A and B are shown apart, each in its own frame.
Chain A
């Protein structure tokens, strides 16, 4: 359960930082009240999706099928985040820059139109929140702690808002790639464990195997990134 909450909190932190950049850019055009309302509406939509997703998965009668489905989604998510983090660490892909993102949003012509800006804020928070939704539902259903996972996501939102209020600007100093790398390794470890367990594989070290898988992903991911760096430098 702890690993699920930590993974949710870290995933949500990264996504909410990106959502905050969008909200900030919009708020400077149409005011904080309208931008915050768009954000709250998007969070409401995510809450509805969370309830629907949880209820939908709860109706899967076969627990092994449920475990396989959840594990497969987590593997999809983990491989993507780990792949992106390796590419950024190796220099194959540019690091995500919140200040640059903020400047690009402020340069958009439609950001000064009240309705268009509201939609930008709503869509931004909704799209950034979709990955949080996936993690909350998948980890919550599998560990039977959906409320705790949702609480971790909301706690991350509160933390990002507080940091944004304190910084009074885009949160450009968040070590986003390191968090993505760590979360990717962790989520991939959980997904790998559940997928194989659902297929009838008996892990020799039981649940301790999750920690071993996490260690393997971290060491392997770092080694791959270093190998790519060496290739690029040559």
Chain B
């Protein structure tokens, strides 16, 4: 806990040390920041549960007087258009299940391919001697510095030339084989594995490929999970590229679907309860992820600071 107190760990903390004015102030500020984070999210969920006609009366209350799932049904397209229009709003829908499926596929393909590809090249850079190794690794690391704003136009043109606009292939292509940070991070890890195991296997006549798949990868599950988690978070939230190449409703991933749902609602009189229901539904997978794998996610993000 507090490093100052760890000088004499056997002595229990005095009340003054535990609740000095400074600590009290720090706790107050910390709790304040947590509230600033959580309160807006609660307001979103609460508004999504309001009946559209109750919006004006209850827009700033903290609890819906009569919570309803009407908006959720409307947004998911589970009620007829007439019913939806009768409730007010634009009648716009978000094909949530399809967008969720697209997002899962988009993220899943990239995480799988990119992690495998990065692990393979990272191992080669860490252990195998081949001509051009140093130069190539330097180039891979340098690719991290290329800003997205420089390459999105040529990449868009390439995808267009390939006829991959509005397709999953076009969405995943630029991400799925190469990510400089993943290669760099995994190479650092492979360098830290003792040589002994691999040398023993080589003496037994094992091939490098066998060693990689059967010895090195099983030892590397933690860093692989870290890289997969980081890639997964980034891709789940990626908006810019899918927004450029796949605006077609059938291909939209969640952030693009939410943006297009929002842009369909009239400017002057947005369908707030519908919008907030859509927002809350989109938030759900992230919260579930944190509940299920909180520690893994937190630690992975901390690793992205680079070692």
Decide if A and B are genuine partners.
no
**Chain B interfacial positions (CB closer than 8 Å to A):** none
Give the B-binding residues of A (Cβ under 8 A): none
